[in-house]
Amino acid sequence: MASYDEIYSYMEKRVDALKTNKTGDERQTEGEVFDKRTLMVLYEFMTDGIIDTIHYPVSTGKEGNVFYAEDSDGDPVAVKIFRTSTSTFKRLAKYIEGDPRFKGMTGNRTKMIYAWTQKEYKNLYRYMNADLPVPAPIAYEKNCLIEEFIGDKTGPAPQIKDVELEDPTETYEEIISFIVDGWREARLVHGDLSEYNILMSDEGPVVIDCGQAMDIGFPGAAELLERDIANVNRFFRLRGAKIIEPEKIMKKALNKKIKKERT
């Protein structure tokens, strides 16, 4: 087993944020980008060959950061790292109450963030298995999630809010299919669907940020469905797309579910 110092100097070569050749106090401050535990998880991913290097952050949010990284072939991967801070805990708490997957851990902040990371991984997996456009999940451990990078070596695909859409109605219909098939096939409701969580890749829109997605069996799932539809309709109406009535979309999602249960 390598010592922490050995691990740190190994990591310094592979993580851009640590490449400062600093020592002592300075190093400690720099190292705060990743706490010790997170650094150990990333080290494991590297020694397991899942990632090779971590480059620049594509996003620094309140709950965590997303990094552009590369695997051993030099191909892009996304590394999403959740902060285990109180504020993250507070924001996520409202999604976690009433979810049986989090039973018995609401008092343990760290455990809950780990469970959240696992939940995002599993949700991505369910969407992917239903052939819906999300980043393919690759691995997770503790507060770190590795997934397919949407974009290329030059950078991440833009959020849909920053894109001038060629055919807004076509893109709108793709997102409505994501909502409807997400409910019917993946049996999930995203719950935070907006122009911020849709990236526009070369192959079309890709839905990200699936940590809060809920199984359609949860109380409140229909309410989340309604909210997702309202958000998507609002955005695409402004873009000039031909909008479908929310009731129609709801019906399409819910009807199929009843049919499925009968067969």
Catalytic residues: 192, 209
Which partner, ligand ADP, Mg ion, none, binds residue 200 by CB below 5 to 8 Å per kind? none
The helix/strand count (H/E) of the chain reads as 8, 11
DSSP 71-105: -TTS-EEEEEEE--SHHHHHHHHHHHTT-GGGTT-
Q: Does 195 bind ligand ADP (CB under 6 A)?
A: no
- Does position 141 interact with Mg ion (CB under 5 A)? The reply is no
Task: In whole angstroms, give the CA distance from residue 224 to residue 209.
Answer: 15
With 0-12 / 13-18 / 19 or more C-beta atoms within 10 angstroms meaning exposed / middle / buried, residue 212 is buried
Binding segment toward Mg ion, per CB under 5 A, in 25-33, 133-141, 209-217, 229-237? 209-217
**Residue 147 contact partner, candidates ligand ADP, Mg ion, none, CB within 5 to 8 A by sort of partner:** ligand ADP
Classify the phi-psi angles of 45: left when phi > 0, otherwise alpha if psi is within -120 to 50, otherwise beta: alpha
The smaller minimum CB distance to ligand ADP, of residues 102 and 149, is found at 149
State the binding partner of 189 from ligand ADP, Mg ion, none, CB within 5 to 8 A by kind.
none
Min dist. Cβ of residue 66 to Mg ion (A): 9
**How many Cα atoms occupy the beta-carbon half-sphere of 200 within 13 Å?**
16
Q: What are the CA-CA distances from residue 43 to residues 108, 116, 226 (Å)?
A: 25, 21, 42
Amino acid at 148: E
What are the respective helix, strand and coil percentages of the chain, to the nearest 5?
A: 50, 20, 35
Q: Provide the 3-class DSSP secondary structure of residue 146.
A: strand
Query: Cβ closer to ligand ADP: 12 or 63?
Result: 63
Output 43 or 95, the one with its CB closest to ligand ADP. Answer: 95
Which of the choices ligand ADP, Mg ion, none does residue 78 contact, using the CB cut-off of 5 to 8 A by kind?
ligand ADP
Regarding 204 and contact with ligand ADP (CB under 6 A), the answer is no
Stretch that binds Mg ion, among 75-83, 170-178, 194-202, 249-257 (CB under 5 A): 194-202
Q: Is 199:193 a contact under the CB 8 Å cutoff?
A: no
**Among ligand ADP, Mg ion, none, what does residue 137 contact (CB within 5–8 Å per kind)?**
none
Helices (H), 130-245: 168-181, 221-238
Both structure tokens of 32: 């705060």
Q: Which stretch binds ligand ADP (CB under 6 A): 7-15, 60-68, 91-99, 183-191?
A: 60-68
Site string for ligand ADP, 151-170 (x = CB under 6 A): x----x--x-----------
- Under rule CB under 6 A, residue 208 binds ligand ADP: yes
Q: For 159, phi and psi rounded to 5 degrees?
A: -65, 145
Under the criterion CB under 5 A, does residue 209 sit at the interface with Mg ion? Answer: yes
Does position 212 bind Mg ion by CB under 5 A? no
Contacts to ligand ADP by CB under 6 A: 58-59, 61, 63, 66, 78, 135, 147-151, 156, 159, 196-197, 208-209
